[in-house]
Structure 1
Amino acid sequence: MTLRERLFHAALFELLAIIFSVIGLMLLTEHSVSSLSGSMIAVAFIAMVWNMAFNAAFDRLVPGKRENRGWLLRIGHVAAFEGGLLLFTVPVMAWILQVSLWQAFILDIGVTLFITLYALIFNYCYDHSRAYLIRKGHYQPVTAY
């Protein structure tokens, strides 16, 4: 994927993730919508930067057509991505929500479990939609950067 497509992929993923996460946390916690939105926007920004770096490295380590990746590889990809992301996001959530690191970890684990399932579904749909558009001639991918 090109840098432009990586940015589109990451931005679309994070926008939907923010919306779904804030709604879920709003229903499950007593935090205000504004603090939840602020924490999820910060987490999404961190995740977007991590997404760009992690996926560029992953695509170099696992070349080939993305739509041909099996479920086991997809699960490993998401687990490695989300595990690395926790290292960056727990302190941020603790600071914004004014909770302990343990409480932030528990909240972040809940978000991570949801996002893990969401990421599997989103990336499967994205990869197959992209492949379909390429096959139909509606999209011409440029050689990756």
Structure 2
Amino acid sequence: MSTIERVFHAVLFEVLAISLSIIGLTIFTHHPVSSLSGTMIAVATIAMIWNMIFNAIFDRFFTGKREERSLKARCVQVIGFEGGLLLFTVPIMAWLLSVGLWEAFIMDIGVTLFITAYAFVFNYCYDHLRAALLRRRQLATVQAQ
């Protein structure tokens, strides 16, 4: 994947994730879309920054080839990332939405579970659509010759 495509992939992922999270939270809470929009943009921004910081630190402790990391190391990474993210985002959600920490925690857990499933589906679909487009381009190039 080129750098431009990686940026496209990341932006598309985030735009859809934020939009779908706002819709879900609108359905399950009493908060207005405007409040949820700002909150989810803040959460997504925190998640991207935390992702860079956490993974830089994690890579210092778990050296070697990334593709050879054990299941245990990957579980530690996910739990560490998500746990740290909750520490940052729960107070922000509570403050921005004027709710208690418990309500913000429940909402954040819901978003986290949704994003986990969404990431799986999004990347599966993106990879398969990308492969189909590349095959189509390759076929068109062969036919044009």
Aligned to 2:13: 13
Q: Which has the higher contact order (CA 8 A, sep 6+)?
A: 1
Q: When the two structures are superposed, what TM-score results if normalisation uses the length of structure 2?
A: 0.67
Aligned to 1:69: none
Instruction: Give 5+ residue unaligned stretches, structure 2.
Output: 139-145
Q: When the two structures are superposed, what TM-score results if normalisation uses the length of structure 1?
A: 0.67
- Contact conserved, 1:93 with 1:104, CA < 8 A, in 2? yes
SS state of the match for residue 37, structure 2?
A: helix
Aligned to 1:41: 41
One-letter identity of the residue aligned with 1:43 = V
RMSD: 3.6
Distance across 1 between alignment mates of 2:137 and 2:53: 29
**Equivalent in 63, 68, 78 of residue 67 of structure 2:** 63
SS state of the match for residue 63, structure 1?
A: helix
One-letter identity of the residue aligned with 1:10 = A
- Contact conserved, 1:78 with 1:116, CA < 8 A, in 2? no
Change (3 A) 1:112 1:14: same
Percent sequence identity over aligned pairs: 64
Distance across 2 between alignment mates of 1:82 and 1:32: 26
Aligned to 2:142: none
Within 5 Å, give how 1:1-145 maps onto structure 2.
Answer: 3-52=3-52, 61-63=65-67, 76=75, 79-80=78-79, 81-130=81-130
Distance across 1 between alignment mates of 2:76 and 2:127: 14
Q: Deviations over 1:9-40 (max 9, x none)?
A: 22211100111111111111111111111101
Distance across 2 between alignment mates of 1:82 and 1:53: 13
Change (3 A) 1:87 1:18: same
Change (3 A) 1:79 1:128: farther
Change (3 A) 1:13 1:78: farther
Change (3 A) 1:10 1:76: farther
Q: Which of the two has greater helix per residue?
A: 2
Change (3 A) 1:78 1:34: farther
Change (3 A) 1:100 1:14: same
